[in-house]
Structure 1
Amino acid sequence: MSVRNRFGSAAAIALMTTVSAVLLSACGPDNADPGATAAPGTSAPGTAAPGGASHSGSPAPGRKEVNGTSVANHLTISTGTRNVAMNGTIVDFGSVVRDLAWSPDGKKVVYVGDSGDLMTANPDGTGRATLAKHPDGEEWSHPTWQHAAKGPSGNVVPNETERYNNIVFTAKKAGVLRLAKVPAKGGTVEDVSPHNSEGGDNSNLPQPPQTGNTWANAGGQQAAIAYANTPTNEVYIYDDYIRPATQDIGKGSQPALSADGGQIVFVRAVNGHDHLFTRSTEHDQKAEKDLTPSATTDFTEPAWSPDGKTIAARTPEGIDTVPADGSAAPTQVSTLLGLPVYRP
């Protein structure tokens, strides 16, 4: 079984089951605003999935369904509807939210709205604004917030913070996938063109594919972006900040970089199911770890916790988490069906 292809169309997320959850606490979407508005609802209890995962996300006796999010764990689940789970509650954004991602400071979200445009908003769903409008005949999906705060020496680089304060996303036109970007403050949409630097030791390196690229995910403090190339089924890391060459990580899809940029998680099909793999992003560190070696279900759309200790992933039954060091089997934390992301 190959990994589910949710790359190319924002509409794919819209097909997710519409779900809501009863509030579990008084906590709101913003830690400083526990009284934020939430849209209550109900959903059917989840069923335990096979494959070594300890699915503990079903309702406890006498309690409502757990949605898996809390102030402490930073987990957010966007369900492809107007409702987003975070901080133990459901936030009604007032319109469809697809492929939600957080700003580096956790104060804003970017997502694909019901019109297919790139939208930004506050964590409580207020302040919605159109960042960029998609052209007719083009579909946008899976935005990520690229940023550069520190140079290789650890110092803040003058003028680089704004230069790399971009939203990178997938654009699909006439069946062709490519990466594009727009300044986070708004502006002109441009193509992202992964490349190997000309001259020096990299002059003879083959250039990475320019089309078929999707599922961008930013991490670290130096504008690094992981992405997948669907025709080759390869995962890459690219930036034009410190890396002279685009790095080929190997076979896989749906990559995500850790907050410090030092680790990457990605999906690869093994024995008929989608597994989660991690490895270092360093060129000389190629050892991989399968976090789900006994999987008999599919683990997709992984995301790193801010502290780098936990990875959340989607399954057909909801959201599971697994220790990033592989020290324990995955555990179901939510029966909500959606895209897991962590708030910084």
Structure 2
Amino acid sequence: MSVRTRLSTVAAVALTTAVTAGAAALLAGCGPENPGGPAAAPPVTAPPVTAALSGAGTAPAPSGTAAPATTAATPAAVNGTAGNHLTVSNGTDHVLMNGTSVDFGTVVRDLAWSPDGAKAAFVDGAGNLMVADPDGSGRVLVARAPGGETWSHPTWQVSSVVPDVEVPLKNTIFFAAAKGGVSRLKGIAATAVDGTPEVLSLGAEEGPDIEPLPQTGNTWPSAAGPHGTAVYANSGTGEVYIRDDFLRQQGSPLLPGSQPALAPGGEDLVFVRSVGGHDHVFEGEVARRPAKDLTPGATTDFTEPAWSPDGRTLAVRAPDGIYTLPVDGSAAPVRISTYTGLPAYRP
């Protein structure tokens, strides 16, 4: 069954059985809503506030407007993560969340949350794959990076058992592994302890015009939805690919772009594409309808998009901080934090 056929004919069956109690049992109970941590900002240098920040109640600028809406100038760095599920990791021991700074006790790079928000996966200072509770406690070494290999951008693949179509339960972490200038996707059980990841198989869809998928140059995986669907980018072809793992592994190119992020439901995606000398954020569907530029008036680079749990808002990184914007493109990006780092939403 092709990716496109599966999306149109099997989605209703799978959605009725998405994330059962059996799947949830693989993940630890939900962590604290307001995990503890020092109130001080993390030890990073925030960029100077040269432009005012948008405040609560400020009307958004019309779509296509480059500059964010403004209020009075803010004299200090703005965290921007209070009450919105947003988290920011920046390669220090601290993670911004819930309007404060949480000390994980180790370097946190490329933090990603499990679909229920109970666990965080990240790459530590030694380059190893780690899992921890939302307050940084309960750290587990999932896998140890071999010498000369750099791991990045972990993502969770969690899906429930679908008996009618014999789909097995999945609880896996994917990530990119680069060595000697060659990048491949690897995966390992999220419950592993000092385990050994395996290179992911990447099979192509069936069809007379389907070409073999590139096995190297793959990076930036993103998995979401009840079926275990994932997308990733390839640096050699400059395209975003789908990895469909519903009935059996198969995939195909979707569209030109990089840094893809799959929506919580697994049907929509956002990605980055260069336009007029700047990185823009686009929104599309895995069913391949034309993509929409969500930042047409950008005068800076918007990168590393992340979906909010309700699928309505995106957080993106810019050189001067973190911005948010509506997924429907109805308003321009608004800067909410003067700290820079990788944005992610905790469900």
Contact 2:32 2:134 in 1 (8 A): no
Q: 1:60 to 1:156 in 2, by over 3 A?
A: farther
Tell me the distance in 2 between the aligned counterparts of 1:58 and 1:128.
Answer: 41
What whole-Å deviation, never above 9, does each CA across 1:128-162 have from its counterpart, x for those lacking one? 121100111111111001111265xxx7977722x
Tell me the distance in 1 between the aligned counterparts of 2:164 and 2:337.
Answer: 39
Q: 1:134 to 1:88 in 2, by over 3 A?
A: same
Report the TM-score, using the length of structure 2 for normalisation. 0.81
2:290 match: 287
Q: 1:254 to 1:156 in 2, by over 3 A?
A: farther
| Higher mean C-alpha deviation, range 326-335 or range 38-47 | 38-47
Residue type of the partner of 1:53?
A
Residue type of the partner of 2:67?
A
Asked if 1:37 is matched to 2:37, the reply is yes
Which of 160, 183, 193 aligns to 2:189? It is 183
| Higher mean C-alpha deviation, range 312-321 or range 42-51 | 42-51
Tell me the distance in 2 between the aligned counterparts of 1:48 and 1:188.
Answer: 47
Residue type of the partner of 2:339?
L
User: 5+ residue gaps in structure 2?
Assistant: 1-29, 53-63
Q: Secondary structure at the match of 1:246?
A: strand
After TM superposition, the structure 1 = structure 2 runs for residues 43-122 of structure 1, keeping only pairs within 5 Å, are 43=46, 45-48=48-51, 52-54=66-68, 56=70, 60=74, 64-71=76-83, 73-122=84-133
Contact 1:318 1:337 in 2 (8 A): yes
Which of 156, 160, 165 aligns to 2:171? It is 165
Q: Secondary structure at the match of 1:54?
A: coil
Which of 326, 338, 344 aligns to 2:329? It is 326
What whole-Å deviation, never above 9, does each CA across 1:168-224 have from its counterpart, x for those lacking one? 000011110000001001143110121115xxx536521110000000011111111
Asked if 1:220 is matched to 2:219, the reply is no
Tell me the distance in 2 between the aligned counterparts of 1:254 and 1:125.
Answer: 26
2:10 match: none
Residue type of the partner of 1:143?
P
What whole-Å deviation, never above 9, does each CA across 1:277-314 have from its counterpart, x for those lacking one? 001112xx412110000111000000111111011100
Report the TM-score, using the length of structure 1 for normalisation. 0.81
Contact 1:202 1:244 in 2 (8 A): no
Residue type of the partner of 1:90?
S
Q: 1:156 to 1:117 in 2, by over 3 A?
A: farther
Contact 2:31 2:133 in 1 (8 A): no
Aligned-residue offset at 1:254 = 0.2
After TM superposition, the structure 1 = structure 2 runs for residues 147-162 of structure 1, keeping only pairs within 5 Å, are 147-149=158-160, 151=162, 160-161=168-169
1:205 match: 210
Aligned-residue offset at 1:56 = 5.0
Contact 1:313 1:321 in 2 (8 A): yes
1:195 match: 203
1:27 match: none
Contact 1:69 1:88 in 2 (8 A): yes
Q: Among the aligned pairs, what percent are the same residue?
A: 51
Q: 1:58 to 1:185 in 2, by over 3 A?
A: farther
Contact 1:150 1:221 in 2 (8 A): no
Tell me the distance in 2 between the aligned counterparts of 1:139 and 1:206.
Answer: 29
User: 5+ residue gaps in structure 1?
Assistant: 1-29
2:262 match: 257
Q: Secondary structure at the match of 2:159?
A: coil
Aligned-residue offset at 1:57 = 9.1
Q: Secondary structure at the match of 1:46?
A: coil
1:277 match: 282
Aligned-residue offset at 1:247 = 3.0
Q: 1:150 to 1:220 in 2, by over 3 A?
A: farther
Aligned-residue offset at 1:235 = 0.5
Contact 1:170 1:214 in 2 (8 A): yes
Asked if 1:142 is matched to 2:147, the reply is no
Tell me the distance in 2 between the aligned counterparts of 1:208 and 1:159.
Answer: 23
Q: 1:70 to 1:160 in 2, by over 3 A?
A: farther
Tell me the distance in 2 between the aligned counterparts of 1:59 and 1:100.
Answer: 31
